Amino acid sequence: MSEPESDLLQKEYWDLKYITGPLVFLSNGGRFPTGAILDLTLENGQVRQGQVLEATTTHAVVQILQGTQGIDIKGTAVSLRDEAAKMACSVDVIGRRFNGTGIPIDGLAPIVADEEREIGGSAINPVSRDKPNDFIETGVSAIDGFNTLVRGQKLPVFSGSGLPANELANMIVQQSRVRGDDEEFVVIFASMGLTAREADYFLRSFEEGGQGSRVVAFMNKADDPAIERLFAPRCALTVAEYLAFEKGYQVLVVLTDMTSYCETLRQISSAREEIPGRRGYPGYMYTDLSTIYERAGRIVGKKGSITQIPILTMPDDDITHPIPDLTGYITEGQIVLGRGLHRQGVFPPVDILPCLSRLMNNGIGKGRTQPWHREWANQLYASYARGRDVRKLMAIVGEDALTEIDKNYLRFAINFEKFMVGQGERRRDIDGTFELGWKLMGLLPRQELTRIKRETVEQFYKETTNADFH
């Protein structure tokens, strides 16, 4: 949102009639358009902002950004601030820090807008979309090898409380590169309801990693007004669209934590007495989330791109919870963290089985990574899945009841988790990932590798034993 224009004389109304939770109802719905931003001037002179959600002839529903505490019906004046929520866009935003509604909080001068854009955005015309196909090497084997990220993709991290999602996201931000390309890139970071400690971790890491000057941060912390959380990702993406599609930057947007965002959405919905959907979340949450996630992509004829990494916390590690569920239906895959791996000390604890990158095929293969990348990944995936099944079986029937081949798979799975996934914080390039993959496949008999073309197997297969990994 833009800076308040000083003392612009606006017509004021005193028609508040009802206040509940974060909402204020006005007794006349016809004065302001829906989506408009209003100024509410309290008796003590304090000014708060509200957005019109719904209008009827008898009333208008307004959500108050900074909360309704202290607002009274009699003494509060309402005036129009802007017909829609807007964000000041300019390349000068790079390196700056804003609150959730786009007002600078770093103590520096206000942004001189090159362009004011409505933060709601509009849908990219599907025929204007360019196919995302630039492989981003994140340096994380579980992503590069198995769930490849490409420019213009939206790939969320599904985490659980206490799992190191922030560390993984940070690793991606620090280490990602596109091969043979040093184009200008910008990281846009939107924090929604992060604790001061988490927010500090990110900002400090960006500083230490030398990204500080390339980061635009929108900070809404846990103790900041909840309603501003609904604005933070939209402000971030509005700036992202401006930088990517007007100025040609490669933009990486990190949105965290989407769970807090959805909680706020639910809070507004219940205050509006809407019929709740699953677990009390509103029925339109899918649509609402899509207006955030779908703002990733590339456009034909434009140099820049928007890649999104939203992070969310699965309540009780439940992937079927509405937040991860609806997210997964919109995003192009997901990176899922596993508690079991984390307990074993594997970092990053990526549970690759439920992970997916829908755009992987666009970014890999001949001329990009390796012509056999897809088969290689499928084989390792299938073998690891079987190894995990064997491990489960072993827990019931004991190791002695396993067949010889099952034992091979078990060894494979253990080493896969320990070495392929558990790479630690060190960056591993894609060639290193491939090499390790072949070494792991060496633990299995050659004829088991039916997912890979015979010629490829013959070229790369070399039998290995457990000892080769120690």
Partner 1 sequence: MQGPIIGKLSRISGPMIAADGMLGVGMGEIVRVGKMGLMGEVIRIDGETVYAQVYEDTSGMYLGEPVESLGTPLSVELGPGLLGMTYDGIQRPLITLQKSSGDFIARGLTAEPLDYVRKWAWTPTVKVGDSVTTGDFLGNVPETEFLKHYVMVPPNISGKIASIAGTGEYNIHETIATLDNGTQLTMTHKWPVKRPRPFRRKLPAVTPFITGQRVLDMLFPVVLGGSAIVPGGFGAGKTVVEQQISKFCNADIIVYVGCGERGNEMADVLDEFPHLTDPKTGGPLMNRTILVVNTSNMPVAAREASVYTGITLAEYYRDQGYDVAMMADSTSRWAEALREISSRLEEMPGEEGYPTYLSARLADFYERTGRIECLSTVNDTQAMRHGSLTLVGAVSPAGGDFSEPVTQNSMRVSGGFWALDAKLAYSRHYPSVNWNQSYSLYFKELQPWFRENAPKGWPERRQQAVDLLQKDTELQEIVQLVGPDALQDQERLILEISRMIKEVFLQQNAYSDDDAYSSLEKTGGLLEALMIFYEESQQAVQKGVHLTTILRHPSREEVARLREINSNGFMTKQKVVVDQVKAAMQGLIAAAV
Please tell me whether residue 45 binds partner 1 under the rule CB under 8 A: no
**Residue 4 backbone phi and psi in degrees, to 5:** -65, 135
Say which residue the tokens 């456009």 belong to: 299
Collapsing DSSP states into helix, strand and coil, what is residue 118?
Answer: strand
Determine if 398 is a binding residue for partner 1 (CB under 8 A).
Answer: yes
With b for 16 or more beta-carbon neighbours within 10 A and e for fewer, the 73-99 pattern comes to: eeebbbbbbbebbbbbbbeebbbbbbb
Nearer to partner 1, 36 or 171 (CB): 36
Q: With binding defined as CB under 8 A, does residue 57 bind partner 1?
A: yes
Task: Choose between 271 and 385: whose C-beta lies nearer to partner 1.
Answer: 385
54 touching partner 1, by CB under 8 A = yes
Residue 193 lies near partner 1 (rule: CB under 8 A): no
Q: Does 328 bind partner 1 (CB under 8 A)?
A: yes
Which listed residue (164, 277, 315, 432) binds partner 1 by CB under 8 A?
Answer: 277
Q: Output 47 or 353, the one with its CB closest to partner 1.
A: 353
453 belongs to the binding site for partner 1 (CB under 8 A): yes
Considering only the stretches 16-24, 169-177, 232-240, 314-322, report the one whose residues sit in contact with partner 1 under the rule CB under 8 A: 314-322
What x/- string results for residues 420 through 449 when contact with partner 1 is judged by CB under 8 A? ---------------------------x--
**Minimum CB distance to partner 1, residue 20 (Å):** 17
- When the beta carbons of 84 and 113 are compared against partner 1, the nearer one is 84
Are residues 81 and 51 in contact, defined by beta-carbon separation less than 8 angstroms? no
Region label for 102, one of left (φ > 0), alpha (ψ between -120 and 50) or beta (otherwise)? left
Minimum distance from CB of 330 to partner 1 (Å)?
Answer: 6
State the Cα–Cα distance between residues 317 and 306, nearest whole angstrom.
Answer: 28
Question: What is the β-pairing status of strands 333-336 and 157-159?
Answer: parallel
Interface with partner 1 by CB under 8 A: which range of 253-261, 268-276, 337-345, 407-415? 268-276
Residue 403: CB minimum distance to partner 1, A: 5
CA 416 – CA 64 distance, rounded (Å): 51
348 residue type, one letter: P
**CB within 8 Å of 224: residues ≥ 6 apart:** 99, 100, 193
CB-based contacts of 372, cutoff 8 Å, min separation 6: 452, 453, 456
Closest to 77 measured CA to CA, from 47, 104, 102, 34: 47
Bridge partner residues of 198 (DSSP): none
> Is residue 419 within 8 Å of 341, Cβ to Cβ?
no
450 touches partner 1 (CB under 8 A)? yes
Q: Which stretch binds partner 1 (CB under 8 A): 190-198, 209-217, 381-389, 417-425?
A: 381-389
Q: Are 68 and 39 in contact (CB under 8 A)?
A: no
The site string for partner 1 over 89-108 (x = CB under 8 A, - otherwise) reads: --------------------
Burial class (CB in 10 A: 0-12, 13-18, 19+), 184: middle
Cβ nearer to partner 1, comparing 152 with 193: 152
* Number of residues binding to partner 1, judged by CB under 8 A: 86
Taking CB under 8 A as the rule, which mask of x and - marks residues 107-146 in contact with partner 1?
-------------xxxxxxxxxxxxx--------------
* Cβ within 8 Å of residue 422, ≥6 positions away: 341, 344, 345, 346, 347
- Residues 150-169, interacting with partner 1 (CB under 8 A): 152-153
Is residue 283 within the footprint of partner 1 (CB under 8 A)?
yes
Q: Does 459 bind partner 1 (CB under 8 A)?
A: no
User: According to the binding rule CB under 8 A, does residue 274 interact with partner 1?
Assistant: yes
By CB under 8 A, name the one of 25, 98, 231, 245 that touches partner 1: 245
Q: In this chain, which of 7, 69, 403, 467 binds partner 1, going by CB under 8 A?
A: 403
Residue 455 lies near partner 1 (rule: CB under 8 A): no
